[in-house]
Copies of this chain bind each other. A is one copy, B any other.
């Protein structure tokens, strides 16, 4: 057991502006003893998510991460020992393990996962990313055959799956991503009909060219200016699925919101709906059946971005917020 040492990454300071390495510190903690109802976990993969940054602000769907505690984060872990009847040594679980090598977590906060290969799929296509894409697009966005679906952060963990599901469902798919390489990857590898590079000038105009018939479903991962540009190009009775607002997380709160709210929402009869994937967990198997069959047939490609070493977790998150990942980013502990 690594001679009893539990390497941990602490959030030592809550960022007021941009997140940097100075907000984290590493320490050698001890391996905890599980109490009744808990399992002792060895963390295998830590999930990096834009939401990690939002948790530092507070005002999200979970309690804020406090300074000088182990940084919170979802992970895939193996049960080392258990004081809960529901879990046994060798089980694979998903839960908020935090950024550390070992964690003792109440079994009721853990989800037992099937043993699949590669295990990383439990964080990507069959994990939060895949389920978020599935329910957000199909349940909130409600795309119909032939409609135009636009997704932002399209090369990211959720966006890359959203666009592929939309394509499978017979929609015209436009991705918004940063950089020529990502955009080329979306159209050449993932089957998007078009891609807009938000780093290459005005999104509004490029989007107009890529989606000349307007937007029926916009899957929003970013908020801000891109939300505004899409809102202005929505068709009547369109749907905006609000999944996240990564453009707003890493810095001070924005002093303004997107223009056109609520005026355009009225005249275009739009439905703008936020969702949190946790609310869909009862319907998880429904999603997994579809996702597994699409992966098996090759219709859905899985892209992962795996970084090795717990010590690289802060930089992995900082880079994710800057948009450097392609597909689901995680750290192999």
Contact = CB atoms under 8 A, between A and B. Distances in A.
A111 interface: no
Given A266-B275, A267-B274, A273-B271, A261 B261 contact: yes
A266 B279 CA distance: 12
A305 interface: no
B272 A273 contact: yes
Contacts of A223: 261-263
Contacts of A262: 220, 223, 227, 240, 242, 245, 258, 272, 274
Contacts of A227: 261-262
Contact of A245 (B248, B266, B268, B279): B266
Contact of A274 (B60, B61, B268, B274): B268
A276 interface: yes
Nearest to A238: B274
A271 B275 CA distance: 9
Contacts of A228: 257
Contacts of A60: 267
Nearest to A261: B257
A242 B266 contact: yes
A157 to B, nearest CB: 16
Contacts of A265: 242, 272-274
Contacts of A271: 271-274
A255 interface: yes
Interface string A251-288: 00111111111111111111111111001000000000
B260 A257 contact: yes
A243 B265 CA distance: 9
A244 interface: yes
Contacts of A240: 262
A317 to B, nearest CB: 19
Contacts of A261: 223, 227, 257-258, 261
Interface in A225-247: 227-228, 240, 242-245
A59 interface: yes
Contacts of A243: 266
B269 A274 contact: yes
A269 B279 contact: yes
A258 B50 CA distance: 23
Interface in A186-244: 220, 223, 227-228, 240, 242-244
Interface of A: 59-61, 220, 223, 227-228, 240, 242-245, 248, 253-276, 279
A-B residue pairs, 7 tightest by C-beta:
A256-B256, A257-B257, A265-B274, A266-B274, A242-B262, A272-B272, A257-B261
18 contacts: A60-B267, A223-B261, A223-B262, A242-B262, A245-B263, A248-B263, A257-B257, A257-B261, A258-B261, A261-B261, A262-B272, A262-B274, A264-B274, A269-B276, A270-B274, A271-B271, A271-B273, A273-B273
